Structure 1
Amino acid sequence: MSNFLPSVQSFLKGSAATAAGLSTVGVGLLLFGQNWLIYPSAFPPGSRTEVPLPTQFGLPFEDLELVTSDDIKIRCYLMLQRRDVDPIDNSGNTTREDADEEFASFRPTVIMFHGNGGNMGHRIPLAKVFYTKMRCNVLMVSYRGYGHSEGSPSEKGIRIDAQTALDYVTSNPTLNRTPIVLYGQSIGGAVSIDLASRNPSIIRALILENTFLSLPRLVPSALPPLAPFAFLCHQKWDSASKIPLIPPTTPILMLSGARDEVVPKQHMFELWKLVRAREGERKENRRAEEGVKEEEMEEEVQDVRTGGGSRFVNFPQGTHNDTCVQQGYWMIVAEFVARLGRSSGEAA
């Protein structure tokens, strides 16, 4: 689920291939070692110690250490917007820092939740697009057990980490007035959906890339022989049950790679149906009334919008790890973010 890790399927198969019995070892891994499989924070090698810095990419930042409610220290990168030119103030009372903070307070704030491999430093090039092209404030979150953050990753723990990051933004005097956008790739999409479902009045919008309905529902495609044992997966990340809890006024941009080899594209299609149902949307494709099979219609879905501002975009050549570099991806994201600013009356 990251650009720096083999697919879940190949990883699971590789582990099982060294065992005497695929089913026996696989079930054992599902039951006892699934956290290790789901959150491989040490891959690629060096990911726990070598975390790139935003300054290596020409970005100003603050290295934050946040303490969670269960007393775990997690690391984050905060990039606050700045004005390009020093403001001229004849009164002499306005400093560059004051002007920068005022400007930042009118820009959207993007909280980034990464995939399950590597660390937040590996995603700085994506943060740079948000920061330099869209002029967003950016908060990059390192889950517990990842990079330089303390602890061990788990669904319960990462949910706390995400809430800690959001609480920081809402309590920050510069950021607490900004529209908050969650950006999540793969398992980061599940983290975003969960956080938005628990904070329905705070999150302005979500941007989700190649995420899944739930982890148990991903097991059959990741390792078909273990499908009967999917119930043993105690790390749920059940996004399907949480999408309906997100208010219909919260627009969601869904970016799907049609050639995703890790998360079957049907997961994104099914989540999209839930997004539309949440907004009270009904199928408008007249071919549905003509008896065309649903899976055939899915093949034709490329770019669909709802009246509530949500949007589904399918990238025909996108795989799990390279959808974010497909042609048009960032133009679509930029348009989505810009529409948020216009609809909320924010300064351009």
Structure 2
Amino acid sequence: MSGLLPSIESFAKGAFATTAGLGTVCFSLLFFGQNFLIYLPAYPPGSRTAVASPGDHGLPYQDVELRTSDNIKLRCYMFVQRKDISQLGALDVESSEDETEEQFSSRRPTVMMFHGNGGNIGHRIALAKIFYVKMRCNVFMLSYRGYGLSEGSPSEKGIQLDAQCALDYIQNHPSLAGSPIVLYGQSIGGAVSIDLTSRNPHAVRALILENTFLSLPRLVPNAFPILGPVSFLCHQKWDSASKISLIPPTTPILMLSGLQDEVVPPEHMRSLWELVQARTGGPSRSESSGGKTVHQVPSASRYAQFVEFEHGAHNDTCVQPDYWTTIDKFIKSLDGSRSASPVSPTSSSSESS
């Protein structure tokens, strides 16, 4: 028995050392390396050097260079509406002969696109085309710092500055200053949208949120199970749960969730929806059909809708049946934003949270 005790003692010391070592690794990964785990601008390979051009899709666009308040240069794309883009297959929108191009574009909605944590804006041009051609919206595609051809390294504070810089640019643009601004955020882009609106509640007309989360610390146990016990160390917060209540209840919100989401558990979107309902001050009614379930607050002055797509995964919810029809109806419901033609699903390259 006495010979066994040293062996047990050695094992215990070894186990303690191993646990301490793993704990140190987990601590280091989460605290010091979390930006590399969260933001994936180089995935897929080549994303930091090769950015597709809207011209490759036959779209007229402008290269926009923004300079943020901390002196980072962002390389973005912008699509400004014109009265006649029939050459792209778009239907006409009613306009008088004496209405200028600037007046026309200023009364069309402007969709600001905030993408997920992987790839670059070039991977989302097919989505921008639907907003531009089918819904006749102006479109601004923000390239976060450290993504695509933009300078810098991504972080929560930095991307917040990027989003604010883009919003300020649109609000001061000669053709878009009067345009109703709609934020379209996918995954982490949804968190960017919520944060930006909470800080500019009267500048944003409406929000469209797809497969986003309550906060990053709450997402860590699902995305990185090994780091779950130390998720409290996550300093990249993107705390949408606390910020969504700061958005005025009269700001329309459309939430789109894929029930097969393998990155962000659908429970996150459902919990955000509960917060949105509380913000609007009333219960919702639900209806299921055709592979989707629609939950809506039945108040015209406080419009909010939550749509769950039965077969939607994290990266392909945008190609599910009725996804774009749902967005089209939402855009139409906004003042002065009638859509000109029916829409249909399109293919999209992958993105992550």
Q: Which amino acid aligns with 1:28?
A: S
Spell out the pairing of 1:37-116 with structure 2 (5 A cutoff). 37-84=37-84, 99-116=100-117
For residues 269-316 of structure 1, give each alpha carbon's deviation from its aligned partner in whole angstroms, at most 9, with x where no partner exists: 00000111001013668xxxxxxxxxxxxxx98101112211000000
Secondary structure of the residue aligned to 2:218 is: coil
For residues 164-220 of structure 1, give each alpha carbon's deviation from its aligned partner in whole angstroms, at most 9, with x where no partner exists: 000001001211101000000000000000000000011000000000000000011
Q: What residue ranges of structure 1 are gaps of 5+ in the alignment?
A: 1-20, 286-299
Secondary structure of the residue aligned to 1:327 is: coil
Q: Kindly tell me: are residues 68 and 178 of structure 1, through their superposed partners in 2, closer, same or farther at Cα, counting changes over 3 Å?
A: same
**Partner Cα distance (1:338, 1:56) in 2:** 29
Q: Which amino acid aligns with 1:81?
A: Q
Q: Kindly tell me: are residues 106 and 28 of structure 1, through their superposed partners in 2, closer, same or farther at Cα, counting changes over 3 Å?
A: same
For residues 239-279 of structure 1, give each alpha carbon's deviation from its aligned partner in whole angstroms, at most 9, with x where no partner exists: 00000000000011000000100000000000000111001
Q: Which amino acid aligns with 1:262?
A: V
Aligned to 2:323: 329
For residues 136-188 of structure 1, give each alpha carbon's deviation from its aligned partner in whole angstroms, at most 9, with x where no partner exists: 00000000000110111000000000000000010012111010000000000
**Partner Cα distance (2:336, 2:116) in 1:** 32
Secondary structure of the residue aligned to 2:332 is: helix
**Partner Cα distance (2:31, 2:179) in 1:** 42
Aligned to 2:199: 198
For residues 22-50 of structure 1, give each alpha carbon's deviation from its aligned partner in whole angstroms, at most 9, with x where no partner exists: 65433321011000111111111110110
Q: What residue ranges of structure 2 are gaps of 5+ in the alignment?
A: 1-20, 87-94, 340-353
Residue 121 of structure 1 deviates from its aligned partner by: 0.7
For residues 318-344 of structure 1, give each alpha carbon's deviation from its aligned partner in whole angstroms, at most 9, with x where no partner exists: 00010000011000000000111xxx2
Q: Kindly tell me: are residues 301 and 271 of structure 1, through their superposed partners in 2, closer, same or farther at Cα, counting changes over 3 Å?
A: farther
Spell out the pairing of 1:247-262 with structure 2 (5 A cutoff). 247-262=248-263
- Verify: 1:304 aligned to 2:292, yes or no: no
Aligned to 1:150: 151
CA contact (8 A) 1:109 1:180 kept: yes
Q: Kindly tell me: are residues 85 and 244 of structure 1, through their superposed partners in 2, closer, same or farther at Cα, counting changes over 3 Å?
A: closer
**Partner Cα distance (1:181, 1:191) in 2:** 13
CA contact (8 A) 2:292 2:310 kept: no
**Partner Cα distance (2:329, 2:202) in 1:** 23
Whose radius of gyration is greater, 1 or 2? 2
CA contact (8 A) 1:112 1:140 kept: yes
- Larger mean CA deviation between 301-310 and 188-197 belongs to 301-310
Aligned to 1:289: none
**Partner Cα distance (1:166, 1:242) in 2:** 18
Q: Which amino acid aligns with 2:307?
A: V
Aligned to 1:18: none
Residue 225 of structure 1 deviates from its aligned partner by: 3.3
Q: Which amino acid aligns with 1:25?
A: V
TM-score by length of 2: 0.82
Q: Which amino acid aligns with 1:52?
A: A
Q: Which amino acid aligns with 2:313?
A: T
Secondary structure of the residue aligned to 1:105 is: helix
**Partner Cα distance (1:23, 1:123) in 2:** 39
Q: Which amino acid aligns with 1:56?
A: D
Secondary structure of the residue aligned to 1:302 is: strand
CA contact (8 A) 1:106 1:347 kept: no
**Partner Cα distance (1:322, 1:182) in 2:** 19
**Partner Cα distance (2:306, 2:84) in 1:** 34
Aligned to 1:14: none
Q: How many residues are matched?
A: 306
CA contact (8 A) 2:108 2:336 kept: no
Secondary structure of the residue aligned to 1:218 is: helix
CA contact (8 A) 2:109 2:180 kept: yes
CA contact (8 A) 2:77 2:140 kept: yes
CA contact (8 A) 1:23 1:225 kept: no
Secondary structure of the residue aligned to 2:228 is: helix
**Partner Cα distance (1:85, 1:196) in 2:** 31
**Partner Cα distance (2:75, 2:103) in 1:** 25
**Partner Cα distance (1:106, 1:284) in 2:** 32
Q: Which amino acid aligns with 1:313?
A: V
CA contact (8 A) 1:66 1:164 kept: yes
Aligned to 2:160: 159
Secondary structure of the residue aligned to 2:325 is: helix
TM-score by length of 1: 0.84
Q: Which amino acid aligns with 1:251?
A: P
- Larger mean CA deviation between 226-235 and 267-276 belongs to 226-235
- Verify: 1:314 aligned to 2:308, yes or no: yes
Q: Which amino acid aligns with 2:28?
A: G
Aligned to 2:170: 169
CA contact (8 A) 1:23 1:226 kept: no
Q: Kindly tell me: are residues 301 and 134 of structure 1, through their superposed partners in 2, closer, same or farther at Cα, counting changes over 3 Å?
A: closer
Provide the identity percentage.
63
Q: Kindly tell me: are residues 325 and 232 of structure 1, through their superposed partners in 2, closer, same or farther at Cα, counting changes over 3 Å?
A: same
